[in-house]
A and B are shown apart, each in its own frame.
Chain A
Amino acid sequence: GQNIDQPTEMTATEGAIVQINCTYQTSGFNGLFWYQQHAGEAPTFLSYNVLDGLEEKGRFSSFLSRSKGYSYLLLKELQMKDSASYLCAAPTAGTALIFGKGTTLSVSS
């Protein structure tokens, strides 16, 4: 089976740094994805990790530890527009993406 856990909600202030954690259990491993989703819109791709370590992409970074079944998304220099849901996801053996429940991030001024 497949199980993906992440916190339900997080809050932060503009300019701060926030880390959203994700733990996963998958039958087989084919990488880990992070998506951002604003209400009423489709998810947009943020990052993909298949090897251990940190991948940095502008204000967003993603980390993976395969041995621990753990990933995190790091958002720096938070902006109001970063208020959204952040979804951790992993492909199944059948290649469909399975999503965690999502973390709703609220950024305040």
Chain B
Amino acid sequence: GAVVSQHPSWVICKSGTSVKIECRSLDFQATTMFWYRQFPKQSLMLMATSNEGSKATYEQGVEKDKFLINHASLTLSTLTVTSAHPEDSSFYICSARDPMTNGYTFGSGTRLTVV
């Protein structure tokens, strides 16, 4: 089945720095990928839809200048958390739709801790 690889699995960074999270579709092409954020004991909240070759579509309340999304190829989408603050500490998960089954495949997630 379709596999989505997400790196890093966890990262600790200092306040004010930027962190890049990568999401790769390993055995299929993903023109669209989705980025979610999950706070402890809460569900997945959609942040943005990443579109290959065009601008991402952000959900209401998500700052596009803070959460930069780049989808430069059919197999790679990146999420950069800029000027990170402790409140950005969360679990970030990417997802893509498997073109063969129409199901959704998730990356393994990235635990971001901002200190």
Of chain B, the residue at the smallest CB distance from A97 is B104
Chain B residues positioned under 8 Å from A45 (CB to CB): 103-104
**Quick one: given A41-B108, A94-B57, are A100 and B103 in contact (CB under 8 Å)?**
no
A101 CA / B43 CA spacing, docked (Å): 5
Among A40, A48, A97, A104, contact of B95 (Cβ-Cβ < 8 Å): A97
Give the interface SS of chain B, mostly helix, strand, loop or mixed. strand
Count class of interface residues, chain B: 20 to 34
Of chain B, the residue at the smallest CB distance from A102 is B43
Q: How many contacts A-B (CB < 8 Å)?
A: 43
Complex contact A41–B109 (CB within 8 A): yes
Chain A residues positioned under 8 Å from B104 (CB to CB): 33, 45, 97
Chain A residues positioned under 8 Å from B57 (CB to CB): 94
Mask of B35-72 contacts with A, CB within 8 angstroms, 1/0: 00000011111100100000001000000000000000
Complex contact B34–A42 (CB within 8 A): no
Binding site for A on B (CB under 8 A): 32, 34, 41-46, 49, 57, 91, 93, 95, 97, 103-104, 106-109, 111
List 7 additional contacts besides A43-B106, A48-B103, A101-B42; criterion CB under 8 Å.
A40-B111, A41-B109, A42-B93, A43-B93, A85-B43, A87-B44, A94-B49
Binding site for B on A (CB under 8 A): 33, 40-43, 45, 48, 85, 87, 94-102, 104
